[in-house]
Amino acid sequence: MLRILVSGVAGFIGSNLTQALLEKGYAVVGVDNLSQGDLLNMAAFREHPHFTFVQEDIRNEAAMIQCAEGCTALVHLAAYKIPRYSDALDTLHINTIGTESFLKAAVEHKAKMVAASTSDVYGKNPQVPFDENSNLVVGNPDVRRWAYAISKMYEEQLMFAYHERYGIDIVPLRFFGGYGPNQNLTWWGGPQSVFINMALDNEEIPVHGDGQQTRSFTYVSDHVNGIIRAVERPEANNKVFNIGANREITIEGLAHLIWGLVRGPEETARIRFIPYETFGKYEDVQRRIPDIARARELLGFEPQVELEEGLRRTIRWQVERRRQLGISTPDPVNA
Ligand SMILES: NC(=O)c1ccc[n+]([C@@H]2O[C@H](COP(=O)([O-])OP(=O)(O)OC[C@H]3O[C@@H](n4cnc5c(N)ncnc54)[C@H](O)[C@@H]3O)[C@@H](O)[C@H]2O)c1
């Protein structure tokens, strides 16, 4: 039985990936320090005979080398995201030092390493859709939101440097906006999490800026599918991939869509626009859509879950999770 080490196992993508890997017959060692993740996300597989949980910080290099014992692949997902409401130090430290400790474990055990990068690395590049050769354009260091993109660019470079020097196979995956069951219920989980909560509570949806910035949202089973293909296929080795769905939608459009699914199509969404200045010095990405030709060709990757259907499933899950947490929640009208 093949054994895989997954970091960030109590998080959104990590828990969904682990469930799928166990169903496919892999053994999984999952690491998480529970700083952002939730034990509830692991409830479905915590007692699985082929699953082992290690509560540890990924920056503990000796511990990661030990966790990776007997693993043929390491999937590195643990990270901190855009520091909207705090300083950038955790994002910079965890994402760089943590990645290096995983790379050392991969070298020690001659394992392949697949790791989460992000669409945010394309930053302010206005030329959409982004393919993997598009320029990565970020802003100045007094805008701390770029710390996330920069930490992931460093991660990608470090992976290629380890590949060149030590010969391990690596695959950085640039995920585009994920959503689905086990997503974090705050901004950490993305705008859709917060928008669903607000619609369920019949409160104004906070939309940053004028809401005309666009994103493409990817249902988590599609991300998981892309990760598993990157792990299993040698054609993936030592290349970067965009992994995401490519339907473009404005953030204001997303707010209307979610309001309609939660409260019914005849209700007008209650939206409050929040100026970017609220976050201090901030810069947003105006348009973000992937070109997924490389993933299609080399991984056979094709997003399967269309946005409305994915949101319906996510809303139903979020209703259940809120009730588990004791939050009073109405039945959604249209999900
Ligand atoms: N979800 C998305 O839309 C998205 C988009 C682009 C990239 N990504 C990347 O994908 C990966 C997974 O994202 P996610 O949405 O599942 O995030 P998440 O926050 O839900 O999960 C990350 C997990 O890592 C854990 N963690 C954080 N720091 C740790 C540390 N020092 N040691 C051990 N564990 C630690 C957290 O407790 C959490 O459970 C991340 O690398 C993220 O940057 C996600």
The CATH number assigned to the domain holding 73 equals 3.40.50.720
Residue 177 pLDDT: 97
Nearest by Cα to 105 from 149, 49, 54, 50? 54
For 71-97, what is each residue's pLDDT tens digit?
999 999 999 999 988 899 999 999 999
Residue 277 pLDDT: 85
For 144-176, what is each residue's pLDDT tens digit?
999 999 999 999 999 999 999 999 999 999 999
Residue 135 pLDDT: 98
For 168-200, what is each residue's pLDDT tens digit?
999 999 999 999 999 999 999 999 999 999 999
Determine, yes or no, domain membership for 278.
no
Determine, yes or no, domain membership for 186.
no
The DSSP annotation for 23-83 comes to: HTT-EEEEEE--SS--GGGGTTTTT-TTEEEEE--TT-HHHHHHHTTT-SEEEE-------
- Does ligand 1 lie within 6 Å of residue 12's CB atom? yes
Nearest by Cα to 170 from 99, 223, 70, 121? 99
- Does ligand 1 lie within 6 Å of residue 57's CB atom? yes
Whether 162 is a known active-site residue: answer no
Query: What domain range includes position 117?
Result: 3-179+219-243
What band does 17 get if pLDDT is binned at 50, 70 and 90? very high
Rounded to the nearest integer, the mean pLDDT of the chain is 97
Number of domains in the chain: 1
The pick from 35, 54, 76 for probing ligand 1's pocket by mutation, whose C-beta has the most ligand atoms within 8 angstroms, reads 35
Residue 305 pLDDT: 98
The pick from 7, 12, 92 for probing ligand 1's pocket by mutation, whose C-beta has the most ligand atoms within 8 angstroms, reads 12
Closest residue to atom 9 of ligand 1, CA basis: 116
Given 80, 122, 148, 219, the catalytic residue: 148
For 99-154, what is each residue's pLDDT tens digit?
999 999 999 999 999 999 999 999 999 999 999 999 999 999 999 999 999 999 99
Determine, yes or no, domain membership for 206.
no
Residue 238 pLDDT: 98
Closest residue to atom 26 of ligand 1, CA basis: 78
Determine, yes or no, domain membership for 85.
yes
**Which position has the token pair 């969404």?**
269
Determine, yes or no, domain membership for 49.
yes
Residue 159 pLDDT: 98
- Does ligand 1 lie within 6 Å of residue 184's CB atom? yes
Determine, yes or no, domain membership for 170.
yes
Q: What is the mean pLDDT of residues 41-47?
A: 98
Tell me: pLDDT of 265 over 90: no
Tell me: pLDDT of 248 over 90: yes
Q: Is the pTM of this model over 0.95?
A: yes
Determine, yes or no, domain membership for 72.
yes
Tell me: pLDDT of 296 over 90: yes
Residue 53 pLDDT: 98
Cα gap 333→65, rounded to integer Å: 49
Determine, yes or no, domain membership for 239.
yes
